[in-house]
């Protein structure tokens, strides 16, 4: 599927799409990375569940800007740290209020998984808000983006997914945006141990949710990729 052309009418710029998902927040970072990798494998495997061609549940509309870097000297540090971020706006045109609980992962071509917000200081959001204060005057922090989303353009919500810098050798990555659809499917956990109690790490089923996967390439060699802007290679909807 070809990505549609950006609309000049968008307040914060970007690409408009009808969209997907809402992932429960898991507690253990190592388990989150393991689970995200497992769900990535499921989402690309042949015969894996796929989203319905026609919506089977509510879906929000989303507009997003392609990821960009920002370098911030954090409090107490003597050198800047690089972060990646994606600004997005969601609009509820479903006809009723819906729960909006966004979750984003960035996955590189080496399967490095970075969850948005992990080890990200509030200082980073402050710098992003300042950079975009003219284009996106109503940008809200990620933690305040969650909650009931009322209907209509007047209640649209603009926020940002922020990621720590990933492996500089990566030449491709995918951003998974979740929290924008009610479509879900349950799949058995192949490593579930029925002899053990069900816990966060031993669950009988995984819940896959309709999620937007946006693929990017970073042109150039190892040195030039440090400054190159990512190029959008396409997008698709997956169950993840």
Domain boundaries, the chain: 15-239
pTM strictly above 0.85: no
Q: Decide: 149 and 156 in contact? Cβ < 8 Å.
A: no
Contacts of 49 (CB under 8 A, 6+ apart): 42, 185, 187, 208, 239
CA 234: distance to chain centroid? 15
Q: Convert the pLDDT of each residue in 97-110 to its tens digit.
A: 999 999 999 999 99
Name which of 19-28, 76-85, 215-224 the model is least confident about: 19-28
How sure is the predictor about 1, in pLDDT bands with cuts at 50, 70 and 90? very low
* Strand runs labelled E in 101-152: 103-108, 113-115, 147-149
In the chain, the percentage of residues whose pLDDT exceeds 90 is 74
H or E element: which one contains 212? strand 205-217
Residue where the block lists tokens 């990512």: 230
CA distances from 211 to 8, 98, 138 (A): 25, 16, 25
Q: Convert the pLDDT of each residue in 25-48 to its tens digit.
A: 333 445 445 555 555 555 545 567
Q: Is the pLDDT of residue 160 over 70?
A: yes
Residue where the block lists tokens 């989150």: 32
| CA–CA dist 176, 174 (Å, integer) | 6
């Amino acid at each position: 599927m070809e990505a549609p052309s950006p609309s000049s009418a968008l307040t914060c710029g970007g690409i408009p799409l009808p969209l997907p998902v809402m992932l429960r927040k898991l507690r253990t970072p190592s388990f989150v990375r393991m689970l995200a990798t497992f769900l990535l494998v499921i989402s690309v495997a042949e015969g894996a569940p796929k989203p319905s061609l026609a919506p089977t549940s509510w879906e929000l509309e989303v507009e997003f800007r392609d990821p960009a870097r920002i370098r911030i000297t954090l409090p107490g540090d003597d050198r800047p740290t690089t972060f990646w971020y994606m600004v997005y706006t969601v609009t509820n045109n479903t006809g009723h209020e819906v729960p909006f609980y966004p979750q984003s992962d960035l996955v590189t071509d080496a399967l490095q998984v970075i969850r948005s917000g992990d080890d990200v200081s509030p200082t980073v959001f402050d710098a992003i808000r300042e950079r975009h204060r003219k284009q996106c005057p109503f940008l809200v922090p990620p933690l305040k983006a969650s909650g009931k989303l009322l209907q209509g353009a007047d209640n649209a919500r603009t926020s940002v997914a922020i990621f720590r810098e990933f492996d500089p050798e990566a030449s491709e990555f995918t951003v998974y945006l979740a929290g924008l659809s009610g479509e879900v499917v349950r799949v058995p956990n192949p490593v579930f141990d029925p002899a053990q109690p069900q816990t966060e790490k031993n669950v009988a089923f995984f819940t896959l949710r309709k999620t937007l996967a946006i693929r990017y390439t970073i042109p150039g060699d190892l040195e030039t990729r440090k400054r190159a802007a990512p190029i959008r290679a396409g997008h698709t909807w997956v169950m993840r």
